[in-house]
Structure 1
Amino acid sequence: MARRRSNHRFRRVGILLVAIVAGGLLWREVSGSPSASETPARVVIPRGASMRAAADSLAAHAVVGSSRLFRWFAALTGSERAIKPGTYQFAARTGYAAVLDALVNGRGLMHTIVIPEGFDLRDITPLLVKTLGVSADSIQAATTDTAWLHRLDIPTPSLEGYLFPATYSFPDGITAREAITAMLQQFEAQWKPEWTERARAMTLSRHDVMTMASIVEKEARKAEERPLIAAVYWNRVRKGMRLQADPTVQYALPQHVERVLYKDLEVDSKYNTYKYAGLPPGPIASPGAAAIAATLAPADVPYLYFVARPDGSHEFRTTFDEHTRAIAQIRAARRAAERSQGRSSP
């Protein structure tokens, strides 16, 4: 009898120990132990996703240790049907409580925004306003931040051209200044030491490089033509010729136009390179890495002119007479194509 009581007591102690260990493990999962040294995981919760699908995704990204336990915890708290869809960012082993709180209340939501090459502040501002819910005034304040202007040695009043084109993921609630800072930090990260050496060899400041690169970015439609377009403009600069770059006129106008007309060439602005020789005061858009590289490694050609073909490629010429003939040939080909299309139409 005494032996049976002893065995029963041992079983109760064993069960108690198992319960304590299991409770400790569960508590660790619930409270979590986020790792600051690991790259945060980005988890997408699609609209209409079930708790099972969400938990499986969280477990696959090592945000939670067990999909089944996380679902059980969500059911225990009555939150299994209250999660919000979106893109979240979590550290590994965040903990069930914190993850569930983020999913239910939309905390940790990420907003993805794509800044294409060749966008200027007039293009970027409405994207940030719409995606991040910040005001246009706050963006203007951030892009005229004198601390960054001094840090990047920018002589113009704004950070135009230095918001590096890329895909960004910003957390919900980010401020305009924080978003702009991230873009500027991306620019600094992308700028290569060899570009600095090359600019020095060409006796150019980084601002000169970024200004020319922005024009090359706006003009080039074919990647292989970037060095050629850069060569044309640097050749014109060396000869003291006006750049006569249409994108600079488009930038100088109060509203964007798809096509520059003769009347537009009269706009009185230092950015109007039909009126003023040399580079404009600063970039007219945000150039990508390829345009910057081409600007610093222009093709070794004597061209001074180019004209666009209908497909976006260009004809390059050295003399004005050759350029004039190229324009006439392209216009004639365009008219012939239009007549041919007209005849083939029903």
Structure 2
Amino acid sequence: MKRILLITALVVAAWFAYREIEGGGDASAASDRVVIPKGASMRAAAESLSVHDVIGSQRLFRWYTAAAGRERTIKPGTYQFPSGAGYGYVLDALVTGRGIMRTVVIPEGFDLRDIVPVLAKALSVPEDSVRVAVTDTTWRRTLNVPAPSLEGYLFPATYAFADGITARDAVKAMIERFESVWKPVWDERVKAMAISRHDAITMASIIEKEARKPEERALISAVYWNRVKKGMLLQADPTVQYALPQHVDRVFFKDLDVESKYNTYKYVGLPPGPIASPGEASIAAALAPADVPYLFFVARADGGHEFRTTFAEHQQAIVEIKGAARKARVPVRESRRP
């Protein structure tokens, strides 16, 4: 009787070990992300895999990797495995790097000229495939974007994309992040301000490029909305930078002649669309401008701005800032706003 029980126990143990090694379950589901640090041992990797329920037995997995002679060849990275993946699949992924998530960082203020090459490189896809995705008519129609691209709607964030993801699916994820960040209360603000969401994102993108100090976002928003209401030219340097065929760090007077609807030194009102991807704070500022009468601002050497209501006050602020800069021997950016 004892022999029968022992044999039964061994058979059951062998069956469970076989199931553990071979895997099973829903291949369409995925595990949590598992981070394998650089220089991690197989023991440490097995612990992480066990914590995230990728494997059931650390000891059995280490035995399997040792038997395969591949316990010292794992690649670091962030992985995601199919649910119920077998030990062979998991080990092969760790050794070859298959399954490593592609991490992409899109900073606030990046425009498509920045995003396209970064995304293409991270996904190992041609830049043209990303350009096609960001001009997709389906996405533009879904978002009600009256512009030729999704500029401004690829939300700036850190993304972890599964290995092998297409450019279109990556763009879809970025759009979904944008939609998840957009708040219902913002729809109410859009309605109250008698503007469109596209207008709001366009303004937010300009604020994103202008603001160096977070506390100034609402003030910059107020200046531009006040100018819109009065029918004044926005005269926003970042829109000229966007209109130029190549990026420039600083706008000169010669650049103001560029022929483009994005040149707010020539055309009244908002440009046709966003000029970059704004973050949540800039979107909030675009929809909640400060209650101030300012129509002008000029940059200080510390990255902040001086805000003024009249042209005479603005001119005086420029003189004072230049004088302070000369005393401190600090260069100051020339303002092109009237």
**TM-score, normalized by length of structure 2?**
0.93
Q: 1:324 aligns with which of 310, 315, 324?
A: 315
Unaligned runs of 5+ in 1: 1-9, 340-346
Distance, in Å, in 1 between the alignment partners of 2:4 and 2:54 is 34
Shift of 1:85: 2.3
Q: Which moved more, 1:213-222 or 1:31-40?
A: 31-40
Shift of 1:192: 1.1
Q: Is the 8 A contact 2:23 2:85 kept in 1?
A: yes
Question: Which residue of structure 2 lines up, in the alignment, with residue 147 of structure 1?
Answer: 138
- After superposition, what is the alpha-carbon deviation per residue over 1:200-230, rounded to whole angstroms, capped at 9, x for unaligned? 1111111111111100111111111111100
Instruction: Tell me: CA distance 1:173–1:36, structure 2 relative to 1, closer, same or farther (3 Å).
Output: closer
Q: 1:281 aligns with which of 262, 266, 272?
A: 272
Specify the code of the residue in structure 2 equivalent to 1:289: E
Specify the code of the residue in structure 2 equivalent to 1:311: D
SS at match of 1:168: strand
Shift of 1:94: 3.8
Q: Is the 8 A contact 1:272 1:280 kept in 2?
A: yes
Q: Is the 8 A contact 1:64 1:92 kept in 2?
A: no
Question: Which residue of structure 2 lines up, in the alignment, with residue 76 of structure 1?
Answer: 67
Unaligned runs of 5+ in 2: 331-338
Moved over 4 A (4+): 33-39
- After superposition, what is the alpha-carbon deviation per residue over 1:72-97, rounded to whole angstroms, capped at 9, x for unaligned? 11122333233222211135654423
Distance, in Å, in 2 between the alignment partners of 1:233 and 1:47 is 48
- After superposition, what is the alpha-carbon deviation per residue over 1:119-141, rounded to whole angstroms, capped at 9, x for unaligned? 00011112112222111111111
**TM-score, normalized by length of structure 1?**
0.91
Question: Which residue of structure 2 lines up, in the alignment, with residue 337 of structure 1?
Answer: 328
Question: Which residue of structure 2 lines up, in the alignment, with residue 188 of structure 1?
Answer: 179
Distance, in Å, in 2 between the alignment partners of 1:187 and 1:85 is 30
The root-mean-square deviation of aligned C-alpha atoms, in Å, is 1.8
Question: Which residue of structure 2 lines up, in the alignment, with residue 20 of structure 1?
Answer: 11
Question: Which residue of structure 1 lines up, in the alignment, with residue 190 of structure 2?
Answer: 199
SS at match of 1:44: strand
- After superposition, what is the alpha-carbon deviation per residue over 1:224-274, rounded to whole angstroms, capped at 9, x for unaligned? 111110000000000000000000000001111111111111111100000
Aligned residues, how many? 330
Specify the code of the residue in structure 2 equivalent to 1:322: E
Question: Which residue of structure 2 lines up, in the alignment, with residue 61 of structure 1?
Answer: 52
Shift of 1:198: 0.9
Instruction: Tell me: CA distance 1:117–1:23, structure 2 relative to 1, closer, same or farther (3 Å).
Output: same
Distance, in Å, in 1 between the alignment partners of 2:95 and 2:29 is 24
SS at match of 1:307: strand
Specify the code of the residue in structure 1 equivalent to 2:62: R
Report the structure number with the largest CA radius of gyration: 1
Distance, in Å, in 1 between the alignment partners of 2:282 and 2:25 is 41
Specify the code of the residue in structure 2 equivalent to 1:168: Y
Q: Which moved more, 1:215-224 or 1:101-110?
A: 101-110
